[in-house]
Structure 1
Amino acid sequence: MYTGIVQAVRPLADITAYPGGKTFTIAFTDELLGALKLGASVNIEGVCLSVTGIDGDHVTFDAMNATLERTNLDRFKAGDGVNLERSAKMTDENGGHVIAGHIATTAMVEEISTAEERAFIRFRVPEEWAKYIFPRGYLAVNGCSLTVAEVHGNLFTINLIPETLRQTTFRDYQPGDLLNIEVDHQTMVLVDVIERTVTRVLPGLITKA
């Protein structure tokens, strides 16, 4: 599990394609390397990936084609920076919200401003995922825990404070780019339960009436 508080933006040292996926090599800092082991989970641009190799400060991760198709990881090239967060310990302070690194969908950037006095991202999600996102609710965008500021159908706006801009990759995004979206799991379960209950009960009530 993760908190959605990005710890660092680190460069992709290399990307190697192979049948069935890609290997991503990322240059870690000494702090991020602390007690890191093979098989450990790391949140990379919102996607939970397992460590497959450690060579000095270079750490490798494999992403299968299914992951590449469901996320925006396929857009990256060597030299690009990615958001990183090591998995959280039970004793860690959680300044964001609990996220799993399991991407629900990608969202297309419609408009973005990185001017510090009015920084925001406006993006559109597929219709089937819009029902899980509410004003003032939270979601993970590229692994960053953020609050939804505005909702217009399946078009959503999040505001970005200067610290978020400094500590993440959002400055690298432009209209037309895809963002990794993880909706809050508890919200998703609640919406689905209510939806199924209404679908099952409402026809009976109408018949009785």
Structure 2
Amino acid sequence: MGQWCRPSADANAMMTILEIIQAVSKNVGLDVPSLAVANTKREIVELIQFATETATEVARRADWSALRATATITGTGTNDNFALPAGFARLTMGSAVTTGGNPVRGGISQDEWLSLTSISGTPRYFRINGTSSISFYPYPALAATATVSYLSKNWASNGTAAWVNDADTPLVPDVLVTQGTIWRFKRKSGQDYSDYLAEFEATLADLAATDMRERLP
């Protein structure tokens, strides 16, 4: 099985997408490129796509601390659906929604929610509407606040879920982005990728277990 080495002088620094693509290229037998995101060579375009797919998968499969964020919801005094941040992926484990330091309960059914009479007060229940908004019962008074702890889907250092330039780094572990890009490239090329996939899965399990609580797909 091929091996890759972290090219950065700082062992704790995240690899850039250029460094990831260069490491992958060495492993799969491609010429090492001097640029990645703007590269038009077919194989490099494919590697960028595979690195994107990998980072998206890795972000989904574990609750990485680097992706954890909070949002403050401010009451309007009316029974509104309150917008969640554009990068919202899912709530964190545990008491993800609080008001005044007290947890707000979720997980009630649609029928239960629809049976509630709209009133103003201190929220006791919440309901997530897809990934776009959140509702409360009772709905919060004007200027009252609630805190939502969530995992972002934006896994790149540029604040998005895409590579924009060669200096971008992943907020998820770079070793996983590298390994995942390798096995995807080998699969696409018709090569045996089972060992590389197994290595990726083992690394994912190890790193997820030591970061935050692991989540299955």
What TM-score does the superposition give when structure 1 sets the normalisation length? 0.24
TM-score by length of 2: 0.23
> Which protein has the larger Cα radius of gyration, Structure 1 or Structure 2?
2
> Which protein has the bigger helix share?
2
Q: Which has the higher contact order (CA 8 A, sep 6+)?
A: 2
In terms of fraction of residues, the more strand-rich structure is: 1
